[in-house]
Structures are given as structure tokens and as C-alpha cells.
Chains A and B, each alone.
Chain A
Amino acid sequence: MPDEKTGRLDEEYVVQMKGITKVYPNGVAANQGVDFNLRRGEIHALMGENGAGKSTLMKMLFGLEQPTSGEIWVNGEKLTLSSPTVAISHGIGMVHQHFMLVPSLTVAENMVLGMAPRRGLFIDHAKAVAITKEYAEKYNLHVEPEAKVMDIPVGMKQKVEILKALVRGAKILILDEPTAVLTTQETVELFKELRHLKEQGYTIVFISHKLNEIMEITDRLTIMRGGRSMGVYNTCDVTKEEISRLMVGRDVILNVQKDKAQPTDVVLRVRDVEYVNEWHKKMLDKISFDVRRGEILGIAGVEGNGQKELVDMLFGFLTPNAGTVTMQSENILGLSQQKLRDKGVALIPEDRMLYGIAGSASIEENLISDRSAEKRLNRGPLFNMKAIHDEADKLIEDYAVLCKSRKQQVGMLSGGNIQKVVVAREFSGNPLLILADQPTRGIDVGATEFIRKKLVELSRSGIAVLLISADLAEVMELSDSLIVMHGGKIAAYFEDTSTLTDDVMGEYMLGLKAQSEEEIRRVCHD
């Protein structure tokens, strides 16, 4: 039930964002005509999948980005928020997902950075500590002023961030996925503190996609999808299922032509893998699955539920604490990237600019990075330049890379064409197993379609494909069978994706439901 639209400036709204549109210089429209209102003293959830435009909207409210069109009103005043400093001066504070703290400084020092109290030439440490204590007590946010930030737990770091905003006079707090890094106990504590802040008249924006938390803590919620607002609701008036349906859904139904998969023998076998990250959070919890020749196994899930760690582990970038991973019955844990590639593993990396390419090298040089030592490309000690040129030209043609020549710098290409270069290399190296991590993120429609088609083609030619994607449409349409990850665990396994609906997916992805162990166990084809 959408909130009634108010044309006039209402006293009850501390923030009104009207018709906000944001188009980035690269042409991506992150927000389109979004309306967003905050009532004084409420906890307001901003929900949506990755890439729905939540962060962009909040960045504009905090002055980190400027809207292409639309108006922002704060306390009945129309503002141009040109920088965070301006936003802070109007009482808007933001707690970023990646903390803006200096690890080797103490809590108190971080609190007063840039506004340190002085006594003569020196910092008045006692006063800094006193200020910290005063605010910590007033808002019931327990921190240790004298401890170094690097020594305190994540939960306390977050409190320091909140206090930092409060001490600078923030009345409106934007919390960007505050519970993503917290343990359950820490989350409980945070909620207590947020309620306390609310009672004192503070307004809080809570960015999240965890349904249970939203139901528990917020008064109202705005749902975003594909850069647009899907409406504003009173939290008590909607059910989790409704939210899930509004939030998770395909904006476009892809029509990927594919025959039914005929999977044969198992290529990759993962058993009981566990991984605990450096902040002691269990990112992979007893993960077991198989990937077979001739099928695309999809891994769906909201980002941050262990997918990244899984890929890193499969490609030798991190070692799990427990479990086994074999490829055609041979252990592949602890192998170098070179050995993995020799065994036939290919990876389309999520961060293509960091891992996928050498930006200032030519397209050709990027295309041969995994095969520069192969005999057919060398003649004695020298490169066989003709063979390399032919290889590059062929790949450029086969994968329709739009470029002036193979000598062009790869970094000068558009995102879609850069990804095509990566894909061309990874797909053409005779792989046995392709790990495709967010293969079409942030690239144009043409390139996206092309890459998806190729993935299907390759799987049908007998290659095993593991597709990791936060794009629901992609993972549901492309995959033959599908795993849903939630909280480092496999929440569900679907042998056949053709009958799956968005609603069902949403419930598993957001942790409303989980399959039984026997059901999940079916992904192991022993």
C-alpha cells in the first residue's frame, strides 16, 4: 500500500527527495525518477538487490554524488549537497559499509579527527576521551575510547562510526548494510542502540536486504528495483513474502535458447568446505556440490553470502580451513593458478579490471596471457608472431570485440568489449571447467547476450560451467540446475530451473526458507 503522495512540503518529513534521476558519465542510469521521504524520528529501510540503486540514492543524500535532475529538501529547505561536508553541516551523517576509520589510531582519536580539542600546542587527549565517553553514554553506544581501532571488534568499529556522525551533529543517520559484517549478538545489540537513538528523535535510514531484520527494526520501507522506486510501505502492513516479491524479480525475462542439458560425469567435486575469514566470520559452512560435464550449475544468492570466497578458493587464491576439492578425482586445493589452468580450469573474474586484464597492454597481449608458453605460439625461443596475430585476430572476430586493431590498448575499450576480451581468452583455452563469476555485470546488452549464448554453447559441447551471479534473471535462465547460497551455506538446490519462480527464489535467497539436508544432498552425484 503506497504512502499518499504529498505535493506540499510536509512538516513531518525531514528529508524529501523528489524525482531523483542519476545518470553516470558512462551512461548507466542508476536512479530514474525516484521519490524518497523520511519522517522525523523513524527508522526507514531502503531495500533492494545489488545494483538496484540504493547506494547511489544515499550517496546523493550524503553529498558524495550529485543528481542529474531532481530536488533534495532537508528540513523544509531546498539544498544543493555538493560535498559530505555540506551534508554533515545539515545534520546528515553516513556510516559506510567499508569503515572510514584509521586503524592505528585510538577510538577517541578517530572520533575527533579533523576537529581535535587542543590545550596549547597539544591535543587534549583527556578531553577527546571525555567527549567520546559523554557521547557513548548519552547514546548508549559502548566503546573503549583508549583502545586502538585495529584491536576492537567489528561491532565496536561500527559504533565508533555512528558516534563519529553524532559528534559532528548528525540528526539523520544513513547506515549502509550495517549488519553485513556483524555477528548475531552484535546485530541484536545494534538494534537496541538504534531504537534508543530513535527514541531521542534521530532519523535513521537502514539499507539492507535482510528481511527478518527489516521486519524487526523498521517503521517504514522503500523498495527499489532497477533504479526505480517500487513504492513506500509501512512495515507492519506488508508481509515478508510481499517484500520479497517486490524486491526480487526479473525486470526482463530473458529468452535464452537452450536444449535440455545432458550432464555426464562429474568434473568438479567439492566436499564439506569451510572457511573462516580474518574477522573470524564463517564465510563457507560445510559446502558440498558437484559440477558435471555438459551442465551449467548456477549459484544464486545475495552478494556477500560466501560466493566470493568460494570462487577465490576454487581458483587457488585462498585455502579453506577444512574440506576437499577434487577435479576428476585429483586434489586441486593449494595448486597454483598455472597448475589449475593446466588442469583445465578457466575463470571469468568478478573484478575484471584488477584480475582480468592488463589495462595498458594491447588486446593481443591480453588474449594470450594464459597461453604465451604454448608450443604453437612459439618458434624456438621467439614468439611465432604470425601465429599470435592469427590467434588474436581470430578471437577478436569470433567474439566480436569492437576495436580498431589487435594493437589497441585494452583499457581504452568499453566495459562490454573488455569483458569480451576476457571471455575470449578464458573460453578458448580448451577448458574443462569454467568458473563464470558475475560474467555480465555492468556491461551493455549486446555483450551480455553474446556472453550468455557462448556459455550455453560451451556447456552443451561438454564443458562443466559453474555460474555465480547476483543477477537473478541471468542465473535462473542460464542454469540447468541451481544452488542458492545464504549465510555461507547452501540453502537450496534445484535440479531443474525451468519451473522455478522468482517468489520461491526470493524466499531462499533472503533466508526465509531452507531446504532439508537430504534435499540439498542431491547436488552431490555420488
Chain B
Amino acid sequence: MTKKRQILFSVIRGLLAILIALLVATLLIFLSADGGSFGAKLSATGDALKQLLVGPLFRMGRSGAAFDFKRLTDILASMIPIIFTGLSVCVMFSANQFNLGAEGGIMLGAFTTGMVAVYVPMAAFLHPVVGVLVGGLAVAAIMLLPALLKTKLDVSEMVCSLMLNYIIMYLIKYLMNTYLADKTKGQIQSYEFLETSKIAPLIDNGSKLSWGFVVAIACVVLIGLFMFNTRWGYTIRMIGINQAFAKYSGMKVATVIVLSQVLGGFLAGIGGGIEMLGRYPTFSWSSLPGYGWTGITIAILAGNNPWFVPFASFFMAYLTKGCELMATYANVPSQLIDIIQGVIFLFFAAEQFLSKYRQKLVVKTAQEELATKAALEAQKGGAEHA
């Protein structure tokens, strides 16, 4: 199959997966829509869909939809944590390591950074940098556990990292409840972050779009370069494709497997730290934030390619925003996003999805190649006769 056709096929396949997910969503919205009659339900569904698909960027008014810059910045702001978890999962999945610890990782990173922000005074510029790095390093250190257990004892990194998510969550809750909470407040939250630690907003329109977004994009570039333009990223990818080949080629397989998970942890950790310092005044998370799972979806959508992570993140942030708007304006619970996400995920990862269509393309390409060959030969033959 030619390169062009291959890309075309991937695009069609991806769009169809999204379309199917939206159809499922439409069906669910219709079932949940208010209204007694079929017609009323249908129009309610239409309104809800408008919010989902157009709402994230356009404000619906009497005079039609108008572009809303604030909403765009909201979306960009909500991309920050999931870009980091997306990158984290990309790196780990590229090495064929099913480490699902980005979820606990981002919470631990947020917590650690938050504590540095509360308790360790520092110069204004230095404070967020150190805080975020400490958060990243803490998670990187934790990820040594599943990574080393995998390489030394062949313990499933998947089960281990899943268990770690819960352990991290409960221990953070324990530390917060017992030692660190600001007891003057009604809910469990830390003391306020020191002013010096805050990451400045990029735009002052109340959107929480901080400089963290710039850092996130910078990380995309760095990880993109790391994965495709350095020997370590290259080794990670080769191990992911064929571990026996990597070993035969003389690569340090075990070391790099550990590296991939530690780096994945580091990315999730700094993602949590940046989200914390850029958006919140205190640490108040009482449960896992869900960004880790979204990160997995993003990695799947991006085909484990870091360069595609911003786009996949935008897509997910857009849909999430749409679902939130639906919840506000059309009374459709925002958790619809989880179902949409699941369905897209299932079809995107399905190798045989549209395989018949693919086969047709392959055959068509082969036939064309044969035809050109025959034509060429005929020409040649003709020339000889002449």
C-alpha cells in the first residue's frame, strides 16, 4: 500500500471510530433527554449535541453561535495535566510496559509539589521550578518499584502500578487528614501555597491558563525529540517493537525498561505539580483525579507518538468541556465523556476494525502496481517490435 493510502486509511478509520462514539453518545443523550414526546426529546437531543460539539468554542445565543475566546483558553488550560499524563503513558507504552500508574503518579506529584509550595520558602522564580521538580522526582522514585519488580522478578507492572495508585491515594489522604490539613477550613485542604510558588497565568481572564501550558508544550517537544532523536528513546521504541531484537542488538534491555517507567513517572509527577501550582491555591484533592486514564486514551489516539499528544489532548479536552456544558445547559450528566472515551478507545485500538476495507486497498494498490508494470513492459515490447 502506498504511504498516501496508508495515511488516508488511518484518517478514515479514526474518524469513523469517533463517529461511532458520537452516535452512541447521541443515543444515550436521546434516552436521557427531557421531554414527553418524541419530537421534544429529539429537539432536546439536538440542543445537547450542539453544546457538545460546538459549545466548547462558541457561545450559543439567540443570534446564533459566537466564538468565545474564554472558552478556548479554558480548553487549553484543561489540556495541561492530560498532556503530561499522555506523554507519560506514551513513553511507557512505547517500551511495551503496561504501567497504569500515571493516575497515582499525577496525584503524588501534585501533593509533593503542593507541600514544597506550602512549607519550603524560596525565591519567587526558583520556588515553582524546584517544587515541580521535586514532585516529578518523587513519582519517578516510586515508579522504580513496579519497574524493578518487573525486570528482576517478572511481577506484572500492570497489577503493581494499579495497586500503587490506591496506596498513594490513601496515604496522601492520611497525611492530609492527620498532619497537614488546615483545620480552620471546612473541608480537608492544605494551608495556602506561598505566593512565591505560584505559576503565573498566561492570560488574565480567569481561565487558569498558566505558563504551565507553555511548559507542557515544551515537554511535548522535549519528549518528541527524546523518543525520536536520541539513542535512549530509540532503544525504548525498539524494545517495544521487538524485545528479542533489542537484546540481540546489544541494547541494555532491563535498564531501559526501568528508564521508561521512571521517566513516565517523572512526567506524570511534574504534570501534577504544574497543575497544582497553576490552578489551585491549596492542595485539596481527596481522590484520584482521573487524568491518568485520560492519558491512556490520549496515548492510544496519538499512537504512542508524543508529537500527536497535543492534538489528542485538545480533542479530549474539547469533548470533556462539551460534556460539561451539556451537563450545565442540557441536563446531560458530564460523565458521558467516560463512555465516549471508552468507545473511541475500543475502536481505535481494534486492529481488525475495517480490515476488509484495508485489504481492498492493499489489493487495489497491488493491482495498480502490476498494471503499471505491464504497461511499461508493453511499451518496451512495442519499442522492440518497432
Contacts and interface: CB of A to CB of B under 8 A. Distances in A.
A383 B235 CA distance: 12
Contact of B245 (A357, A377, A383, A385): A357
Contacts of B235: 372
A337 B230 contact: no
A109 interface: no
Interface of B: 225, 229-231, 234-235, 237-238, 241-242, 244-252
A382 interface: yes
Given A357-B242, A365-B237, A365-B238, 5 more contacts: A337-B250, A338-B252, A377-B231, A382-B230, A383-B231
A430 B360 CA distance: 45
A376 to B, nearest CB: 12
A282 to B, nearest CB: 26
Given A338-B250, A369-B246, A358 B229 contact: no
A470 B230 CA distance: 40
B250 A365 contact: no
- Which secondary structure characterizes the binding site on chain B? helix
B241 A360 contact: yes
Interface of A: 315, 336-338, 340-342, 347, 349, 354-361, 365, 368-370, 372-373, 377-378, 381-383, 385
A368 B251 CA distance: 11
B238 A359 contact: no
A358 B253 CA distance: 14
A347 B248 contact: yes
Contact of B242 (A315, A338, A359, A385): A359
A432 to B, nearest CB: 15
Contact of A356 (B237, B241, B245): B245
B97 to A, nearest CB: 16
Contact of A336 (B225, B231, B241, B250): B250
A369 B248 CA distance: 9
22 contacts: A315-B248, A337-B247, A337-B248, A338-B251, A340-B250, A347-B248, A349-B248, A354-B242, A354-B244, A355-B244, A355-B245, A357-B245, A358-B238, A358-B245, A359-B242, A365-B234, A369-B249, A370-B249, A372-B234, A372-B235, A378-B231, A383-B231
A503 B84 CA distance: 69
Nearest to B233: A383
A303 B269 CA distance: 54
A357 B243 CA distance: 10
A404 B241 CA distance: 22
Contacts of B234: 365, 368, 372, 383
B25 to A, nearest CB: 33
A151 to B, nearest CB: 24
A383 B250 contact: no
Contact of A355 (B231, B238, B248): B248
B260 to A, nearest CB: 16
Closest 6 CB pairs of A and B: A338-B250, A369-B249, A358-B241, A341-B250, A358-B242, A372-B231
A355 B244 CA distance: 6
B242 to A, nearest CB: 4
A370 B245 CA distance: 10
Q: Which of B238, B242, B244, B252 has most A Cβ within 10 Å? A: B242
Nearest to A347: B248
Contacts of B242: 354, 357-359
Contacts of B237: 361, 365
Contact of A361 (B231, B238, B248, B250): B238
Contacts of A355: 244-245, 248
A338 B249 CA distance: 7
A394 B106 CA distance: 45
Nearest to B247: A337
Nearest to B243: A358
Contacts of B225: 382
A356 B244 CA distance: 9
A347 B245 CA distance: 12
A249 B247 CA distance: 37
A361 B228 CA distance: 12
B10 to A, nearest CB: 14
Contacts of A381: 230
Contact of A369 (B229, B230, B245): B245
B257 to A, nearest CB: 15
A365 B239 CA distance: 12
Nearest to B231: A372
A337 B247 CA distance: 7
Contacts of B249: 337, 341, 369-370
A368 B238 CA distance: 11
A385 B234 CA distance: 12
A377 B235 CA distance: 14
Contacts of A368: 234
B231 A359 contact: no
B244 A369 contact: no
A407 to B, nearest CB: 9
A246 B10 CA distance: 54
B241 A369 contact: no
